[in-house]
Structure 1
Amino acid sequence: MNTTPHQEHPDTLSTGDGRTTLRMERELAHPPEKVWAALTDPVSLARWFPSEVELTLEPGGAMGFRFPGDSGPVMTGIVTDADRPRLFAFTWGDQHLSWAIAPHGDGSLLTLEHTFGDHFGAASFASGWQLCVTMLGTLLDGGPVVAGHDEGELHEAYVRRFDLGQGVVEAFPGGRRVRFERQLVRPAEVVWEVLSAGVEPVAGLPVPDGFTAATAPAGPVTEVRAPHSLSYAVAPDGAVCWELGAGTGHGPRLVLTQEGPEDFDTDAALAAWHTRIEELAARLLDVPAGVRTVPPYRP
């Protein structure tokens, strides 16, 4: 079984009409019929798929998804394709997943196309599917299936592969802003502790250095809601806002903006904040998953 990325089958990301499609191809040393069964049988699915699944295996058939231990409402979907043993596709909420199986040597080539609206969740989806398809391969091989776990390194590798760390420039009446969105891999409380370094931000006082970059020196904090948001003023006539909102499950979603007047040097701001956020992401990997107290910094 081979479920690791190959040079000839790179994972790709494409966008169109406000949607993003993740494409992953994996070689499996098993015939299409065997792969089809593992993709469509609910008992087999429960051993490698991220949720328990109920389905009626026909186009238009209903699907239900429930995560183990989740007592909330069952998420729903619809089977869009069920062409044995070539194509199984379905919706999952507002997402669409297509699993294509083709003969490949003595085994199969499995192609996943996952289409979704959350572009900056792509690294989370890709790292999750990488682990899941590895478990699928183990199941097909007849070995013990153990749930995979990413401490964050795989997620960050996909951030780099898909170039998800870049910011954008936006115009608004009277000025411009730079904006970054980044999925983080540790809880918001840990992110906040790393940024504040033990200096709790207080409205009216200078912002802790961790929230600043070369183009946004420390200014007075204008609003703080730990551990979810912080804003501060930047001279002249500018402002920086950090927001840690709901993410994909790996951690919070960081949205960072710096606003300024129309002559605001956005190129310099983009470079400075990109460096700062990459430093933060690397620092978070030093914090073991599940730990709520940040260990001392090791440069």
Structure 2
Amino acid sequence: MNEKSTEVRSVVVEREFAHAPEKLWRALTQPHLIEQWLMKNDFQLAADHRFRLSADWGSVECQVMEIEPNKTLSYTWSAYGLESVVTWTLTPTAAGTHLRMEQAGFRTDQEQAYQGAKGGWQHFFASLEKVLDQQA
């Protein structure tokens, strides 16, 4: 067996937001807000719930894995042969919240998906920030 084929990489994006964890949690878990910064979806905050994220380029099949309100959310992220897991971690700070997103599971032969995710999540984080700033 070729060891390289089992090697996996992660994309990690971390950012400080001047908003409370509860506010970020809403943006990560309410379908109408998810649609504003990520993609159209049929997300439900329920363990094992299967949902789909849809965009012009296609869709992502997902399943909720872990829920710890205002702290952790993880779900599978499957699209175009990529089987990965997205984990959101919210940590309160003096100024608001430190948000960490890790998408784990990129094989070494999935360079295009890996590079796409690196750029894509930066864009999604910028959109998330706008959504948060618009929310009361």
Short-chain TM bin: 0.7 to 0.9
Q: Cα distance, 1:118 vs. partner?
A: 4.2
4+ runs deviating over 3 angstroms: none
Q: Cα distance, 1:16 vs. partner?
A: 9.7
Within 2, Cα distance between the matches of 1:18 and 1:106? 37
Within 1, Cα distance between the matches of 2:22 and 2:88? 13
Query: Is structure 2 residue 51 aligned with structure 1 residue 63?
Result: yes
What does 1:15-26 correspond to in 2, within 5 Å? 17-26=6-15
Q: In proportion to residue count, which structure has more strand? A: 2
Query: Is structure 2 residue 20 aligned with structure 1 residue 31?
Result: yes
Match of 1:82 among 40, 43, 67: 67
Amino acid at match of 1:89: S
Instruction: Specify the alignment match of 1:140 in structure 2.
Output: 132
Q: In proportion to residue count, which structure has more helix? A: 2
Q: Cα distance, 1:26 vs. partner?
A: 0.4
Instruction: Specify the alignment match of 1:128 in structure 2.
Output: 120
Instruction: Specify the alignment match of 1:117 in structure 2.
Output: 106
Match of 1:40 among 29, 41, 44: 29
| Higher CA-based Rg | 1
Within 2, Cα distance between the matches of 1:52 and 1:116? 23
Give unmatched runs, 5+ long, in structure 2. Answer: none
Within 2, Cα distance between the matches of 1:128 and 1:25? 14
RMSD between aligned alpha carbons?
Answer: 2.2
Q: Cα distance, 1:62 vs. partner?
A: 1.4
Describe the SS at the equivalent of 1:59. coil
TM-score by length of 2: 0.82
What does 1:1-299 correspond to in 2, within 5 Å? 17-49=6-38, 51-68=39-56, 75-93=60-78, 94-119=83-108, 120-121=111-112, 122-142=114-134
Structure with greater contact order relative to length (CA < 8 Å, sep ≥ 6): 2
Q: CA 1:127–1:106 in 2, change beyond 3 Å: closer, same or farther? A: same
Describe the SS at the equivalent of 1:64. strand
Q: Cα distance, 1:116 vs. partner?
A: 2.7
Q: Contact 2:5/2:107 (CA < 8 Å) preserved in 1?
A: no
TM-score by length of 1: 0.39
Q: Contact 1:54/1:64 (CA < 8 Å) preserved in 2?
A: yes
Within 1, Cα distance between the matches of 2:132 and 2:40? 18
Within 2, Cα distance between the matches of 1:142 and 1:57? 23
Describe the SS at the equivalent of 2:42. strand
Aligned length: 125
Q: Cα distance, 1:68 vs. partner?
A: 4.0
Q: CA 1:97–1:16 in 2, change beyond 3 Å: closer, same or farther? A: farther
Q: Contact 1:78/1:92 (CA < 8 Å) preserved in 2?
A: yes
